[in-house]
A and B are shown apart, each in its own frame.
Chain A
Amino acid sequence: MNPHLAVAALVGMVSLMFALPLLPALLELRRKSDALPLSVVQQNAGEIRYFADSFRTYIKSLEPTMQGCVAAGTTATGSLPDGEEYVVLGRVDEPLVLALQQRDKTHLMMGADIDLILPDDARFSKDIYAGGQFVGGEKNNFRAILGEKNVHLGAGSRVLRWVHAVGEFTAGLGCNLYGRISSDSLIRLQAGCRFLRLNAPRIEIGRVGVGPEAPSLQPSDAAPMARRFLHDGDFEVQPGEVIVGDILIRGKLHIGSGARICGSVKSVEDAVIGDGVAVEGSLISARKMRIGPHCAIHGPVIAERELAIASGVQCGSFEHPTTVSAPRIEVEEGVTVFGTLWAREHGQVVEDNMVASQ
């Protein structure tokens, strides 16, 4: 072989080896096939009602049809602009509903003032719009429900994506509520219910108002500016003690029964809150937290690992709603939360005295 050719071939091959990894880069630089800015959600602020609002917009074109069906007491079928099928009910007709539940690809729409009572074991894999009262039977399966009035789910029912009730939302024993559940007035869950994200002006878990009341909260406007008490290591607030200011504990925290914290509390390890404790600010644990019976917390309640809330606890108030959040939450019957109750991985309603006895 010609030595010059060999050298040229060697140089060429080495150049090719160096250039090869750059080839996709050069092509992408030229084509700009993935050059748009990363998608940052600018307008959706993560509202719980986002899907419900979108669905309401989605079916807006059906309003005249629904009004017509209600006036005439008839039903109508058709397709939405994206090809999805729907059935509009202008009257309650149980055999018809029973027949519809077999049609998995059909949205069910009920006009205003049409109350619907579903039988047990019904299954709907498309979204439902209820203009009137909505009462589910036992062991029903739903994908999503938008109710303009009250929505009630029977025991053992399951929701896969979301429910929004303009009126009250109630769920019977042992319901599985995956996704987002919201109401403009009240959410009430019975024992055994599993949940992820709940939001309403008032969320009641089981029977509320039984037993002693939680201490009253009158947060001081000066609380956020109050001094901060920082302690390295475990710490115990004595029963009945009143502390003015924020508490930051770099260890485990135990707050004795009847204590009052006029400020916010943070524990970087586990926290145990005794009976009847009042916290005028937020209550945060970087690990697990157990809140004893009949406590009152004004601000957000956050546990980074697990949270257990005993009966009679009140979080937030009607005037000052708040958020209770943890990856895993166990909440006893008798708890009231004003605002949001959000279990990122698993939320469960347990019977009275289950948390306190742990």
Chain B
Amino acid sequence: MRARPQQVRSDQGKPASGQWLRAMIYALYIIVFVICIYTGRHYYFTLNRLFGFQRHPYIDIDTADWPPVTVLVAAHNEEKVIANILDALMTVKYPADRMLVIPVNDRSTDLTREIIDKFVEGFPGRIQAFHRVAGKGGKAAALKDAMENVTTEVILIFDADYIPGAGLIKQLVAPFFDVEVGGVMGRVVPMNAGANLLTRLLDLERSGGYQVDQQARMNLRLVPQHGGTVAGVRLSALREIGGWNENSLTEDTDLTYRLLLNGWKTVYQNRSECYEEVPEVWPVRIKQIMRWAKGHNQAMVTYGWHLLVGKHHATLRERIDGTLLLGVYAMAPITLIGWALALGVFYQGVAPLHGVIALLSLTAYAALGNLAAFFEIAAAARLDGTRKRICLLPFLILGFAVSIFSVSRAAVSQVSDLVTGAEFHWDKTERFRKVL
């Protein structure tokens, strides 16, 4: 089947530009093809989680000669939440003489410093404050500066709004007994899930992302993503890859790929769960997802080509999955372009694939393709043992709509920043917990 653009006329009766129309159609084919790949990927992951072999190789390590560990708590104006996490860390079941907590107070202007200092006094030798008063903004830059105080081989990282459970530290340390492991990621669970519609949608999204996506990647030996919090990294691996990249907007994605390219694995521990606070208002959520998108796209440009075709230790399946993972945020603008192209081609009077086939394809995609992400989230809810919250699934359209436009906006702004030479700006996510 071939389109015959030279015979097509627009509504005004002017001949359509054959070359342009052909280019539009081919671009549309490519976009549809890429979308189909991502659709297949969603189904593959979901079916693997439902019926495949589940890998949890390190979760049974409950007795060991536990190594010394440093827990870094990234904190920038965290007076609302910092006490909660420090309290929780002081009660975890890990040998107290082998765990040092370093709150990384990054230029806070609220009461974060005072709260941390009070904890240092209350737990001498167990908490060591790191107050950063100047320097480049961003979590990666703060962590990089804090590294001068780290001497242990195993480092765990938490954002200040997280509340680790009693067994979490051991669970996150256990994978480091494996010399292949350079990074570890635990599961994030929203604690304010019931606050409003947004938090409930984010709860479902997190469920799909971790319970299905991350665990399927772990099962299939693909590329589980380091999340930069409820996470760990091996000091020798970090040194080997050149430390934290302070120029990255998402230091976690950056870390995942640099570890992978250097022969280190990031592993995901689905049962190492930790509560976090998700945004409760849309503007904060939009800012958050735009930062993630920019950081992810930044990593895609930096590592994408080398990952796919370069000479390094990643396996073929890691190369393919890693590349697809790098492209997830690029898919939003690509989908928007696809919609625009489809409309454009339609109003040029062209029905690619002879109309009938296109209609069938459209209905098939509507039934299976669009459903893929919802299927994934529904499967995650089932695996989590939840019931009624799945009723909210139709509302996810709203979340996706906001995401697709926010992420596309981020991509446009990123390109415009490149042209104008503007620097990336790091936005801290606002907290909603009440001050203790």
Report A's interface with B, CB cutoff 8 A.
Answer: 21-22, 24-25, 27-29, 32-38, 40-48, 199, 224-225, 228, 230, 232, 246-248, 250, 263-266, 268, 281-282, 284, 286, 298-300, 302, 304, 316, 320-323, 325, 339-340, 342, 344
Q: Determine which residue in B62, B63, B166, B391 has the highest number of CB atoms from chain A within 10 A of its CB, and name it.
A: B63
**A42 near B392 (CB under 8 angstroms)?**
no
For the complex with contacts A44-B167, A45-B167, A342-B60, 15 further pairs of A-B residues with Cβ separation under 8 Å are: A35-B193, A35-B200, A38-B189, A38-B193, A40-B189, A47-B62, A230-B313, A250-B313, A264-B178, A281-B179, A282-B177, A284-B180, A320-B65, A322-B65, A340-B61
**A29 near B313 (CB under 8 angstroms)?**
no
User: Which among B60, B180, B388 is the interface contact of A268 at CB below 8 angstroms?
Assistant: B180
**B61 near A45 (CB under 8 angstroms)?**
no
A159 to B115, CA, bound (A): 51
**B178 near A40 (CB under 8 angstroms)?**
no
Tell me the smallest distance from the CB of A128 to a CB of chain B, in Å: 25
**A45 near B165 (CB under 8 angstroms)?**
yes
**B194 near A225 (CB under 8 angstroms)?**
no
10 closest pairs, A vs B, by CB?
Answer: A45-B167, A35-B194, A34-B388, A339-B63, A325-B60, A42-B165, A28-B391, A246-B179, A24-B391, A282-B177
Tell me the smallest distance from the CB of B255 to a CB of chain A, in Å: 18
Q: Which residues from B are CB-within-8-Å of A284?
A: 57, 177-180
Q: Which residues from B are CB-within-8-Å of A230?
A: 263, 313
Tell me the smallest distance from the CB of B395 to a CB of chain A, in Å: 5
Tell me the smallest distance from the CB of B371 to a CB of chain A, in Å: 12
- Given contacts A32-B194, A230-B263, are A38 and B60 in contact (CB under 8 A)? no
Q: B29: CB under 8 A from chain A?
A: no
- Given contacts A35-B193, A36-B193, A266-B179, are A25 and B167 in contact (CB under 8 A)? no
Q: When A and B form their complex, what is the total count of cross-chain residue pairs whose Cβ atoms lie within 8 Å?
A: 147
A32 to B196, CA, bound (A): 9
Q: Find residues 176-200 in chain B having any chain A CB closer than 8 Å to their own CB.
A: 177-180, 189-194, 197, 200
**A25 near B392 (CB under 8 angstroms)?**
yes
User: Which among A33, A42, A224, A302 is the interface contact of B57 at CB below 8 angstroms?
Assistant: A302
Q: B78: CB under 8 A from chain A?
A: no
- Given contacts A247-B179, A300-B61, are A34 and B153 in contact (CB under 8 A)? no
Report B's interface with A, CB cutoff 8 A.
Answer: 55, 57-58, 60-65, 67, 93, 153, 163, 165-167, 170, 174, 177-180, 189-194, 197, 200, 203, 207, 236, 263, 273-275, 313, 384, 386-389, 391-395
A340 to B404, CA, bound (A): 49
A46 to B167, CA, bound (A): 7
A300 to B66, CA, bound (A): 10
**A29 near B395 (CB under 8 angstroms)?**
yes
Q: Which residues from B are CB-within-8-Å of A29?
A: 197, 200, 392, 395
User: Which among A34, A265, A340 is the interface contact of B60 at CB below 8 angstroms?
Assistant: A340
**B180 near A248 (CB under 8 angstroms)?**
yes
**B57 near A322 (CB under 8 angstroms)?**
no
Tell me the smallest distance from the CB of A151 to a CB of chain B, in Å: 20
Tell me the smallest distance from the CB of A85 to a CB of chain B, in Å: 32
**B165 near A248 (CB under 8 angstroms)?**
no
A302 to B56, CA, bound (A): 11
Q: Which residues from A are CB-within-8-Å of B55?
A: 304
**A228 near B61 (CB under 8 angstroms)?**
no
Q: Determine which residue in A21, A302, A304 has the highest number of CB atoms from chain B within 10 A of its CB, and name it.
A: A302
A46 to B166, CA, bound (A): 10
**A264 near B177 (CB under 8 angstroms)?**
yes
**A321 near B389 (CB under 8 angstroms)?**
no
Q: Which residues from B are CB-within-8-Å of A322?
A: 63-65
User: Which among B167, B263, B384, B392 is the interface contact of A38 at CB below 8 angstroms?
Assistant: B384
